[in-house]
Structure 1
Amino acid sequence: MTTAELIARTENHLFGFLRGLHDGGLRVPADKQSQFFAGIETLAPSTTGQLYWIGAATLVTSEPERHVYDEVFRRFFGLTAADALVVTDEPADESADEDEPTSMPGSGEAEDVVADAAGADGLAASNVSPEGVRRFAATTPRSHELIRELCRELPRAVPTTRSRRRRPGGRRQRVDLRAIYLESRRTHGEIMRLHWRHRPQRQRRVLLLVDVSGSMKQHSADYLRFAYAVVATCPRAEVFTFGTRLTRVTPSLRTSDVDGALAALAQVVLDADGGTLIGTSLATFLDDYANLARGALVLVLSDGLERGDCTAMVAATRRLSLLAAQLSWWSPLACDPAYRPLTRGMSAVLADLDALTGVDGLETALTAVRGKFATTQRSAHV
C-alpha cells in the first residue's frame, strides 16, 4: 500500500468515526471537528491512546457525551477509556533495566496529550479549545479589598472627552436660542436673559479584551475580577474574552457580586484554558464591534504569545491603534524587569501601543490604574 493510499484510508476511517459519533447521538459541530483534526495535525499521535485523548479533549463536553464517545471509539479503534490510560502501541524498551521501576506504559503519553491540548499547565499556548466549563476559586478577602480600591480609583483614572451632545448650562459656549425663545413667549417677546448650552466632559468608553487561553491560566481569574470592577464603575465599559474565539461578557459582569459574575462567566466562556488565536479573535472583534473601540481607552490583557503566523495579530492591533484614543497592552510577562518583547508578535505590534505594562494580578492592576493606566501620550488620531 502506497503512502497516499494509507493517508486516504486513515482519513476515511476518521470521518467514519465522526459519522459513528453522529449516529450514536453525539452530534459534533463543524468547529469541534476542525479542532479534532487540528489536534491530530499538531500533536501527531503515535499511539491509539494519544488519539483517544485528542478526541476526548476536542469532541466531548459532558459526561453523557463521554459515554457515547467511549463506545464509538472502542468500536472503531478497539480501545476503551481504561485501556487508553495504560496501553501503548509502541514496543517496550528492551534495553531498560528490569529492576528499574517504570511508570505504566502510555500513562505519561496520555497526560501529555491532555495537557498540551487543553493548555492545562498554563505555560504554553495551542490552537485547540477544551470546550469545557472552568470553575473559578472564591475571591479572597484581600482580593475583595483590592476590588473596592479599584472601584474608588477608576473614575478618576479613566480619561474624559467632550460629549457630542450639548447640555443646558452656564458655560458660555453657544447661545441656546430655543430656550431664549420659549422664555420670551412668557414675557411678551422681551428677552430678559440669555441661555447657553455647552458640551460637558464625560468618561471615554473603556474596552477590555481579556486573554483566557491556557498560557494565561494563572492570571485570567484576576483579570476578570478587574473587568468586574471596570464594569461596576464605568457606565460605558465593554469586556470581551478571547482564546480560540471571541466572547462578549459584559452582561455577565453586571451583577452585584464578583463571585456571581465569575460563575456567570464560566457558563459563557467555553474556551477558557485552551488554545489561543489572538489575531483571529481581534480581527473578529474589528469585523463585528469596531465602533466600540472608536475613541475608547482600549486595554488588551494578554501575554501576546500568538501561535504561527502573526500577520493577523499585527494588522488587527494596528487597526485598533488607529481607532482607539489610547491602546495599552497589559502582560504578566512584563512584570519581570528583564522582560523584552522579542517574540515575533509583540515586537511587531510594539510601535502601535501607547504602553506595554506589567500586570499579573489585582495588586499590579491597581498600581497601573493609579498611574493612569500607565499610558504615554501620543499624537491624536481620532
Structure 2
Amino acid sequence: MTTLFDPIAAGDLQLANRIAMAPLTRNRAPNAVPAAITATYYAQRASAGLLISEATAISQQGQGYADVPGLYGADQIAGWKKVTDAVHAAGGRIVVQLWHVGRVSHTSLQPGGAAPVAPSAIAAHTKTYIIEADGKGSFVPTSTPRALDIEELPGIVEDYRRAARAAIEAGFDGVEVHAANGYLIDQFLRAGSNQRTDAYGGSIENRTRLLVEVMEAITAEIGASRTGIRISPVTPANDIADPDPQPLFTHVVEQLARWPLAYVHVIEGATGGARDFQQGDQPFDYAALRAAYQAAGGKAAWMVNNGYTRELAEAAVAEGRADIVAFGKAFISNPDLVVRLREKVALNPWDTTTFYGGGEKGYLDYPTLG
C-alpha cells in the first residue's frame, strides 16, 4: 500500500516523499528581493518531498502585496539562487509559484501608481497588504482595476514565459503556475470577475483561453515535466465566484491534459477554510474532476490541499485519491513536519501575529525534534 512517505516521480521532479509544502506568503522580501533569512527558512523545511515557494510576482504589475518577492530582475534571480542552493544542499527539491495578482493590488504597489489590471473593471471586495508612510504594514482595501486591452494579453503571457526561464536560471527545479485564489488567471476563468465580450470572455472556452496560452508558453520554454499548476475550483478567496464551477473546471483540467505536466495542485473547498465549501447549487465533485482529467489523457501527479490532517492525508494517498498532499500553515511552525507526521508526534502551534512581515521571529525560530 502506498504511503505518504514513499518516493514519487512528478514529471522530472524526483521526490523523496509525497508531502509538499504549500506556497505561503510571508512578506519578508523588501524591494521584492528574497532576504538572506529566506534561504535558511526554506532549507529548514527541505525534508518535504517538494517545497513550493511563496507566490512570486512575474512583473511589477503582477505584484499585489508589499514585501513579496519577484522574479523579473537580476537581483531577484540572485536572491532566489541563494535559496535554491541552500535547499539543494539540504537534499530538497523546490519549485517557484509564478504569480500575477490582477485586480488584487493597490495603486501604491503598481508602476507609476497606476490602477491594477483585470479582465474587467470590477473591484475585488478584499484587502491587500501595504507599507504605510510610518513604515508599518497594514491591510487596506484593494484599488479599483482597469480592464486589460486585448492587445496587452500577449505581453502578460510573455511575462510568464520570461519568469519561467528566470526560475530555471535561479536554480529552481520547476515552476507552479498560480491559477487559484482569485488572482489574474482565476479572474479570467470566473464569470463573476470576467464580463468581457471578446475572445477572452463569455464562454467557458474563452474564459480559459489565457490559462491555456500561459501554459503553452511556459511548457514550450522550460518543458511540461517541470511545470505544475494550482487551481481552486470553489474558493471564495479574494471575492472570486462562478455560478457553475463543475463544468468550468472540468474544461480546465481537460485542457491541462494536453501537456505531460509534473503535477496538478487542487485546493479543495475554501482556501484556508471549510473543505466542504461550495459555490453553485451542487457540492463540487473532486473525484469527477480527476476522472475527467485522466479520461482526457492527463497523467500528472494529483496534489491535494486544504485542511489535511495526518490521518486525512494518509487515507487520501493509501486509497489512491491523491498522489501528493500539500500542507500549509503546519509547515510554518514545524520545519520538521515530515518527521513529525511519520513519527506521529504532536505539532507546534503557529503564531498568527508573525505570519506577515517581520524578521526571524515566527520564521526561523520554531523548535524541531532534533
Bigger strand share: 2
Task: Give the structure, 1 or 2, with the largest relative contact order (CA under 8 Å, sep 6 or more).
Answer: 2
Q: Which has the larger radius of gyration?
A: 1
Answer yes or no: same fold by TM over 0.5. no
